[in-house]
Structure formats: C-alpha cells, structure tokens
C-alpha cells in the first residue's frame, strides 16, 4: 500500500514550501499541506483558497492520493529541443496535444500495472501543472494566475501499441499509466529546472526545462483556446530525451529539482 510522504522524502526540511497533498487518513479523504514531517489539514479543497483547519497528523499515518481531481489530463508531445534532436525530428510549429483519461491516474507509491496486451512499456518523465480556476481563451500573460502549482508526472506508454495503432489513445490510456505526485507545489518555479528519470537507481533521462520548445504560459493559453480547462485539470509539458522500457519489478522515479520525487514500482497486471 502506498505510504505517507515521510518514507518518500526522508530528508524534507522542517519548514517546507507550500506543498499541497490529497490523502487518505483513517479511511477518509482529505486535502492538506506538508509541514516538515507532519500534515496540516485543509478545511476545504484548495483551488478557490487555502484555508487551514486545526487538525494535524504524522506523515507516516497517511496514504497519498493523486494531488488533483482532474476532469482531463492534457499532454504535450515533443516539447524538448534535445528530445527532438535525439529523434532527428524538426521542432513542431505548434504544440502537439493528446489526452489521458482520469482513470489512468495513480499516486506516488502506487503500482504501474504492465498490461498483458503490451510488448513494451516506456517511462516518460514530465513536469506537470494543475489548473486553479475555470479558464477559456486566456492570453499567455494571464496563465500564471490560472496555475495552481506544479507536480511530477510519468507519461507511461505502451510503445508497441502506439506504433501499431498509428495514434496514441490506447497506448497511453491503460489504468495506472499516469502516475502523478507526490504533491502540488504552489511556489515552484518551472524555469530551468533539472528533470530526471531514475530507473532502479540509474539515471536514464537527464535534462532541463530550459529546453522547452513552447513555454508554459504559451501552452496554457494555447490549450485554453481549444478546450475549457477546469480546476484540478492537469497539463503535462513533454518529456526530455532518454525514454526507454520498463519491466515488471522495476522502480521508476521522476525527479524534478526543487519540486520532488515521484516514485512508482512496475508490476504485472
């Protein structure tokens, strides 16, 4: 069973930045904020405002849930210059978008299930953001006010099915194919952050958000010109070079400098 944040980040400082989590405590679901090795409960969901209650609990007493309640997960393809160079592909002239269903979400510490229908399942480390309020057709200058915060995401993909189908829906939509977490950091700066994927303790992706083709304000504006974005929706910003396969028994971590570590294990379905 996925455990509390204390086992995921044992060296967390006593006073943390604003890291918002969603969690189970005594079989009930709550929102809270990480403060050192404890959780401070929120009195209500955090998207309109952050209002604390008087309750606290130890971090090892909770089970982490996905820190967003998404109606949709919008992802961006080929958004790192170094990834395009690795593939020998030209930079896209406009963002390449695709969707994952909310049923693909799994929390930090949860299992990525390897489907029997897939011959190859890949990791893709990504920086994601969570939308704060309902938006439609906003300008890039308005994007910062529409973003609640940032989190880690793994765009797990059945690569052989993606190639076989010629489109991406089945390959990216299996249950557990969208790990997200462990929290949403409302103070994280997405500029020039190191992003890594670490498989079984070995770094397999290593880049920086400085290599984005399309910056985050442009992406939020562009996506909102196509579809209405709702509080809790997730936008993921693409993966750097080094994508590769997973096997049952592997542990895969998405490690983003200054943000946190999303760690999941792979198991047979």
Q: What is the pTM of this model?
A: 0.94
**If we measure between CA atoms, which residue out of 69, 80, 78, 122 comes closest to residue 97?**
78
Angle at 208 (CA atoms; ends 172, 160), nearest 5 degrees? 25
**If we measure between CA atoms, which residue out of 39, 44, 85 comes closest to residue 62?**
39
Per-residue confidence in pLDDT tens, the chain, 269 aa: 344 554 443 333 334 459 999 999 999 999 999 999 999 999 999 998 999 999 999 999 999 999 999 999 999 999 999 998 998 999 999 999 999 999 999 999 999 999 999 999 999 999 999 999 999 999 999 999 999 999 999 999 999 999 999 999 999 999 999 999 999 999 999 999 999 999 999 999 999 999 999 999 999 999 999 999 999 999 999 999 999 999 999 999 999 999 999 999 999 98
Please state, as a whole number, how many other Cβ atoms lie within 10 Å of the Cβ of residue 71: 15
* Domain 5-65 and domain 73-268 have a common topology: no
Q: Two tokens at 191?
A: 């500029």
Distance CA 128, CA 107 (A): 14
pLDDT of res. 106: 98
CATH for 5-65? Answer: 2.30.30.370
Note whether 37 and 4 are within 8 A (CB).
Answer: no
pLDDT of res. 48: 87
Q: Where are the domains of the chain?
A: 5-65, 73-268
CATH H-level, domain 73-268: superfamily: Fumarylacetoacetase-like, C-terminal domain (3.90.850.10)
DSSP string, 155-220: --EEHHHHHHHSSSHHHH-STT-EEEEEEEETT---TT-EEEEEETTEEEEEEEGGGBSS-HHHHH
pLDDT of res. 5: 52
pLDDT of res. 11: 37
- What are the C-alpha distances in Å from 174 to residues 23, 106, 157, 197? 23, 11, 9, 21
């Amino acid at each position: 069973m996925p455990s509390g944040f204390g086992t995921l980040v044992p060296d967390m400082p006593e006073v943390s930045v604003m890291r918002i989590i969603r969690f189970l405590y005594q079989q009930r679901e709550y929102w809270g904020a990480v403060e050192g090795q404890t959780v401070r409960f929120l009195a209500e969901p955090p998207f309109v405002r952050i209002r604390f209650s008087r309750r606290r609990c130890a971090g090892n007493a909770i089970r982490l849930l996905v820190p967003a309640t998404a109606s949709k997960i919008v992802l961006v393809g080929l958004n790192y210059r170094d990834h395009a160079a690795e593939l020998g592909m030209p930079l896209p002239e406009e963002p390449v978008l695709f969707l994952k269903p909310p049923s693909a979400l799994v929390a930090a510490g949860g299992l990525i299930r390897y489907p029997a229908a897939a011959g190859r399942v890949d990791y893709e480390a990504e920086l994601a953001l969570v939308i704060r309020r309902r938006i439609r057709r906003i300008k890039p200058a308005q994007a910062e006010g529409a973003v609640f915060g940032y989190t880690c995401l793994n765009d797990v993909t059945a690569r052989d099915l993606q190639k076989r189908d010629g489109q991406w829906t089945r390959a990216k939509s299996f249950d557990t194919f969208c790990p997200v977490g462990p929290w949403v950091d409302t103070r994280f700066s997405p500029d020039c952050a190191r992003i890594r994927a670490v498989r079984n303790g070995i770094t397999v992706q290593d880049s920086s958000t400085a290599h984005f083709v399309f910056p985050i304000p442009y992406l939020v504006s562009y996506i909102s010109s196509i579809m209405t974005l709702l509080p809790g929706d997730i936008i993921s910003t693409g993966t750097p070079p080094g994508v590769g396969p997973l096997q049952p028994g592997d542990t895969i971590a998405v490690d983003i400098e200054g943000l946190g570590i999303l760690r999941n294990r792979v198991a047979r379905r």
